[in-house]
Amino acid sequence: MSFAQEILDRVKAKDPAQPEFHQAVMEVVNSLELVLERHPEYRAQKVIERIIEPERVILFRVPWVDDQGEVQVNRGFRIEMNSAIGPYKGGLRFHPSVNLGILKFLAFEQVFKNSLTTLPMGGGKGGSDFDPKGKSDNEVMRFCQSFMAELFRHIGPNTDVPAGDIGVGAREIGYMFGMYKKLRNEFTGVLTGKGLNWGGSLIRPQATGYGSVYFAAEMLKTRGETLEGKTCLVSGSGNVAQYTIEKILHLGGIPVTISDSNGYIYDPEGINHDKLKYIMELKNIRRGRVSEYADKFKSATYTPADPKLSYNPLWNHKAHCAFPSATQNEINGKDANNLIKNGVYVVSEGANMPTTPEGVDIYLDEKILYGPGKAANAGGVSVSGLEMSQNSMRYGWTSEEVDNRLQIIMKSIHQNCYETAEKFGTPGNYVNGANIAGFLKVANAMIDLGVV
Ligand code: GLU
């Protein structure tokens, strides 16, 4: 039996109900077989066995009172996965699907992603099964305050620095930061993604989307191409999707889709800057649904999500590039085949683990330019790292300065993945490149720090 299979069997036996975590571990450990052959010290030191076990898991009750005066109870989590190269760092996700397995997969991915950023950040993730959709501002505030009334004792600017993820944006970060500040009586950079007036960084909202497009541009550069004139499929309509669309437009590409959990929009005339402005107002201010886009712009069609379909029709349009920016496992094997059939040869993942293992195998077999999430979407957490630096300095950089640093970081992540894939005998395979390069920095630090 291969070492990867042995590890996976053990993980499954220990935590049978965590399929997303199994999936994330399997992908990384498969890539690492190439490393373990050359470096027996990692096996001797049981680095893999240690790296898949969170350093600490915090699970807590989050009681709050809704607008009807009724008591609600949610579950809160923080997974402190690995602190070998810096304080735990990673987002909080508020979504009804949140459970321990999903947060462990996200925390595990975060360890490798953060290692790739070149910045000193360990990996963590947290959140709650709370659903912000349809809740009033006051309900969201009471929930966030209750969540932080427990989390505050576990985090700190040099210990664990949470940020946003699905369902957690500037509003939620604000309510949580306010509560943290009150309880600790100190103003520190304990959260990132803060508002500009209270310690946030310019370009943080843009960073994940911009970064994922910069990564695609770097991949295209290896073939002497650019994004100019390329049709792009984008899923999602939140912060990542919005700024992915904006950067595609800056670089001359043509974004034609957006989606939410109810359905998707296809606009063959392209989503231009004016239409993007409309989307931002619709999603960020009115908190509406994407179906409204088709009422406003007649060139667009809206297709409601159909759970009976075995594929997602969003991925079945003629295009050159795909930017999955919604959620995990949104592209299955059938979708990946549809992408290839429709001419897509660049996939840059703004979401975390949006492609199933079957889908990833298809990309790799077809040798398309495929940037896995832990490399392609690392721009978000990178600018979070820059926010931490600015907070420590009590100073703020200009947009140009931050964007410039973001571009340098994305280039260096691309180069590191590209060269590592080549060095380990799988040229062009950014999955192996990202997993191995991300692993080596953390693994070497863990060995230096001893068995702790
Ligand atoms: N949730 C984002 C991610 O998946 C950002 C994390 C952060 O900024 O700490 O990387």
**How do residues 133-142 score in pLDDT, each as one tens digit?**
999 999 999 9
Annotated catalytic sites, by residue? 125
Q: What is the pLDDT of residues 66-111, one digit of tens each?
A: 999 999 999 999 999 999 999 999 999 999 999 999 999 999 999 9
**CB 192 less than 6 A from any atom of ligand 1:** yes
**CB 87 less than 6 A from any atom of ligand 1:** no
CA 165 to ligand 1: nearest atom: 1
Q: Are 157 and 188 in contact (CB under 8 A)?
A: yes
Distance CA 337, CA 344 (A): 10
CA 381 to ligand 1: nearest atom: 8
Report if pTM > 0.75. Answer: yes
Higher pLDDT, 4 or 173: 173
CA 89 to ligand 1: nearest atom: 9
Q: Closest residue (by CA) to atom 8 of ligand 1? A: 381
Distance CA 204, CA 384 (A): 7
CA 90 to ligand 1: nearest atom: 9
pLDDT of residue 317: 98
Cβ neighbours of residue 398 under 8 Å, at least 6 residues apart? Answer: 202
Task: Please tell me whether residue 184 adopts helix, strand or coil conformation.
Answer: helix
Q: Closest residue (by CA) to atom 10 of ligand 1? A: 381
pLDDT bucket at 301, cuts 50 / 70 / 90: very high
> Which residue of 102, 176, 381 sits with most ligand 1 atoms within 8 Å of its CB, as the best mutation to test the pocket?
381
pLDDT bucket at 400, cuts 50 / 70 / 90: very high
Q: Count Cβ atoms within 10 A of the Cβ of residue 452 and give its class: 0-12 exposed, 13-18 middle, 19 or more buried.
A: exposed
Residue 55 has pLDDT above 90, yes or no: yes
Distance CA 81, CA 396 (A): 30
pLDDT of residue 16: 97
CA 121 to ligand 1: nearest atom: 9
All structural domains of the chain, each given as residue ranges with its CATH number in brackets, are: 3-186 (3.40.50.10860), 207-371 (3.40.50.720)
377 CA distance to ligand 1 middle (Å): 9
> Which residue of 95, 206, 208 sits with most ligand 1 atoms within 8 Å of its CB, as the best mutation to test the pocket?
208
Q: How big is the chain by its Cα radius of gyration, in Å?
A: 21
Distance CA 221, CA 179 (A): 46
Q: What is the pLDDT of residues 360-372, one digit of tens each?
A: 999 999 999 999 9
Residue 332 has pLDDT above 90, yes or no: yes
**CB 328 less than 6 A from any atom of ligand 1:** no
The pair of structure tokens assigned to 92 is 């909080």
Strands 123-128 and 71-82: antiparallel
Ordered strands of the 56-65 beta sheet: 56-65, 71-82, 123-128, 88-94, 160-163
C-alpha dist (Å) from residue 45 to 12, 55, 168, 321: 22, 17, 38, 42
Q: What is the pLDDT of residues 214-233, one digit of tens each?
A: 999 999 999 999 999 999 99
> Which residue of 20, 78, 110 sits with most ligand 1 atoms within 8 Å of its CB, as the best mutation to test the pocket?
110
Residue 430 has pLDDT above 90, yes or no: yes
163 CA distance to ligand 1 middle (Å): 6
**CB 103 less than 6 A from any atom of ligand 1:** no
pLDDT bucket at 404, cuts 50 / 70 / 90: very high
C-alpha dist (Å) from residue 28 to 32, 51, 130, 190, 398: 6, 11, 30, 30, 37
Residue 1 has pLDDT above 90, yes or no: no
Residue 34 has pLDDT above 90, yes or no: no
**Beta bridge partners of residue 128, listed in sequence order:** 76, 94
| Residue percentage of the chain with pLDDT more than 70 | 100
- Region 263-283: mean pLDDT is 98
67 CA distance to ligand 1 middle (Å): 30
- Region 153-177: mean pLDDT is 98
- Region 188-203: mean pLDDT is 98
407 CA distance to ligand 1 middle (Å): 17
350 CA distance to ligand 1 middle (Å): 11
**CB 384 less than 6 A from any atom of ligand 1:** yes
**CB 352 less than 6 A from any atom of ligand 1:** yes
347 CA distance to ligand 1 middle (Å): 20
CA 164 to ligand 1: nearest atom: 1
Distance CA 210, CA 193 (A): 15
CA 279 to centroid of chain Cα atoms: 21
Q: Are 382 and 117 in contact (CB under 8 A)?
A: yes
**Beta bridge partners of residue 76, listed in sequence order:** 60, 128
pLDDT of residue 41: 95
Distance CA 80, CA 56 (A): 5
The pair of structure tokens assigned to 267 is 């606009």
89 CA distance to ligand 1 middle (Å): 8
